[in-house]
Chains A and B, each alone.
Chain A
Amino acid sequence: MTEIVMRNLGKDFGGFTALADMDLTIGSGEFVALLGPSGCGKSTTMNMIAGMLDPTHGEIRFDGRMMNGVPMAKRGVGFVFQNYAIFTHMTVRDNLAYGLRARGVAKPEIARRVGDIADLLQLTPLLDRKAARLSVNILQRLAIGRSAVVEPAIFLLDEPLSNVDAAFRAVMRSELKALQRQFRQTMVYVTHDQLEAMTMADRIAVMDHGKLLQVGTPLEVYNHPVDTFVARFIGAPGMNLLAGRVTSADTGLTVDLGAAGHCPIQAGQGGEVLFGFRPEEVHPDPKGPMEMTVTTVERIGARTILHLAAGSHAAKVVLDSETAVPDQGEAFRFSVSPGAVRLFDPQTERAL
């Protein structure tokens, strides 16, 4: 259990800035997901925490101890690689014992600790099997066990679910979360899948183009995105953003959305805005103030996704499959409750 503090952390590769001025504190025992599209700097950040890369500037501290320049073997960091990096020429037991042997732990102690971790991860029946022909979920558990057995203070996971098919990913997500509760280590998890981040992490750090955009609990990030990138990236589908204009009338403030109608809001100043609302926050309402044309109806089981258009606006709406929905080409009238509206500055794209 270790607190990780990154201050003004940055990494340049030649002229390319992979990470710029990152300030992030990861609490002891916390599960933080670094989330962003590929090339956003999340893996660079993780590799610097592990010590595989040296930062260009800034510092990393574990529990106050300066880590810059400390070789990776001495950092006490467990790392689960994207492809698990299992020693396939060894047995499961030798894989699990590897770190303990490297540290010169006594044989009976190694046997005991390998036995314990194998029990915990349900690997006991496989201990004497060669690691070469194990299934992906067992390889993943083995990778976690191999790192966990030396009791690292920090656990880093680099997209461990990206090699797994979608159906299996759901199983692994809950398995990983359960393991984290058992180990209680500080965990940093790199992913480009917002669903993984939302379901597992205590806090999410959203990154793009080498910049840390927002840090917060999954719900904070979902409900109060700091800018349009986060708003679009989090959620499936992401937040709708329509260009509009705040006007005040006797009845209160509204956003004029032109062809799509208008929507009352709680607060805001006059002027151009980006009007944001979650696809899930839409109420079908025959007398509603907004109207758009249905371009596509996607039925995906429990939910139905409507693709809407009006003038230059485009939006998506998620409804229960029981809700009656208009057909393609028909008009869809709806309202968005004022509390669910998020406004962004069209120039800076930051939340207002």
Chain B
Amino acid sequence: MTDMTTQQLGAAERHADTALHEGAEERRLGLWLTLPAQLLVIFIALFPILMQVYISLTDWSPLDGIPWYRAYELWIGLLNYVDLANDPRFWSALWRTCIVMAICVPVQFLLGLGLAILFVDDFPGRRVLYSTILVPMMVVPAVAGYMFFMLFQSGGPVNDILSFFAGRPVTIAWLSDPDLALFATIVSDIWQWTPLMFLILLAGMVSVPQDQQMAAILLGASWWRRFWTIVLPRMKTIIIIALAIRLIENFKVFDNFYIMTGGGPGVATETISIYIYKVTQQELIWGYVAAIALAILIVLSIVSALAIKKLRSVQ
């Protein structure tokens, strides 16, 4: 009996061994078979970045007459990065972009959340209003830029409305006053992107289980308590996703700002994207642009990584 058990065990072990061996072999074959596809993916994902790293270490410009792959002839090492660190215009554009984000994203979030609260329950005309609210999101950002460019003209509708309420002619130069110009561009961004926040947050709010809310009501919880203890905690994941999407997108804000003010007056509304655009198109120092782009990529990667980490801990 014991013998047989031992024998059986031995056989089982041998079998397991073979299986393990076969498994390893199968994995190796799998690796070979998928290798071309994996290399392609890595190439597609990494090539532009690697090229940027390469260019950023040179003083290359398309006007030099040297093809990009011979840019090493203009190798300058980390000099672009040193320049970048000492470029006040870069830092002020970065700082301005952060201010825009710090105003736009929270305002969009709060407005979107408020609208979502209003739209989560049915009311007459809900569908029509819902579609209407989403319209700004569908507008091409450049067109939105033109709309607000016209709205904020000193003889434009905004001033007309203000005149009506003030009872005297108001002629504020929205787009040529440095502070007001930033305000006007921020308003256009909020107008355009609150609907997206609303859409995402409403989807999250609708997915909060109805019976849990019923249970909370039956336990005597007020609307506020239910909102804080059931609705918001259950929306945590979607809130983080919505904020991350808007932060990353907002950081790259360009179209409407550029069309409304061209980054001006002076550099009053010059965000990081507008700054890069100007350096690329107007000054054509591409090695330097590559360095800026990489610096921004690193910043955004850190932000995304933090958001993803937060998401993981929530889930």
Q: Which residues of A contact B (CB under 8 A)?
A: 50, 52, 72-73, 77-79, 81, 83, 85-87, 89-90, 98-99, 101-103, 146-147, 150
Q: Are B217 and A81 in contact (CB under 8 A)?
A: no
Q: Are A79 and B222 in contact (CB under 8 A)?
A: no
| Chain A residues closer than 8 Å to B214, beta-carbon distance | 52, 72, 79, 81, 85
How far is it, in angstroms, between the C-alpha of A77 and the C-alpha of B215 when the chains are bound? 10
Cβ of B44 within 8 Å of any chain A Cβ, yes or no, is no
Q: Are B234 and A89 in contact (CB under 8 A)?
A: yes
Which residues of chain B in 194-249 are interfacial with respect to chain A, using CB atoms and an 8 Å cutoff?
209, 211-212, 214-222, 225, 229-230, 233-234
23 A-B pairs within 8 Å (CB atoms) are namely A50-B218, A72-B214, A73-B217, A73-B220, A73-B221, A77-B218, A78-B218, A79-B214, A79-B218, A81-B211, A81-B215, A85-B209, A85-B212, A86-B212, A87-B212, A87-B216, A87-B229, A87-B230, A99-B219, A99-B220, A102-B221, A102-B222, A150-B220
| Chain B residues closer than 8 Å to A87, beta-carbon distance | 212, 215-216, 229-230
* Number of interface residues, chain B, beta carbon within 8 A: 17
| Chain A residues closer than 8 Å to B229, beta-carbon distance | 87, 90, 98
How far is it, in angstroms, between the C-alpha of A340 and the C-alpha of B209 when the chains are bound? 50
Main secondary structure of the interface of B (DSSP, over half): helix
| Chain B residues closer than 8 Å to A79, beta-carbon distance | 214-215, 218
Minimal Cβ-Cβ distance residue in B for A152: B218
| Chain B residues closer than 8 Å to A90, beta-carbon distance | 229, 233
Minimal Cβ-Cβ distance residue in A for B211: A85
How far is it, in angstroms, between the C-alpha of A154 and the C-alpha of B212 when the chains are bound? 19
* A74–chain B nearest beta-carbon distance, Å: 8
How far is it, in angstroms, between the C-alpha of A101 and the C-alpha of B229 when the chains are bound? 11
Q: Are A147 and B219 in contact (CB under 8 A)?
A: yes
Q: Mark B115-151, 1 if CB is under 8 A from A, else 0.
A: 0000000000000000000000000000000000000
* A322–chain B nearest beta-carbon distance, Å: 41
Q: Are A98 and B217 in contact (CB under 8 A)?
A: no
Minimal Cβ-Cβ distance residue in B for A150: B219
Q: Are B216 and A102 in contact (CB under 8 A)?
A: yes
| Chain A residues closer than 8 Å to B217, beta-carbon distance | 72-73
Q: Are B233 and A98 in contact (CB under 8 A)?
A: no
| Chain B residues closer than 8 Å to A102, beta-carbon distance | 216, 219-222, 225
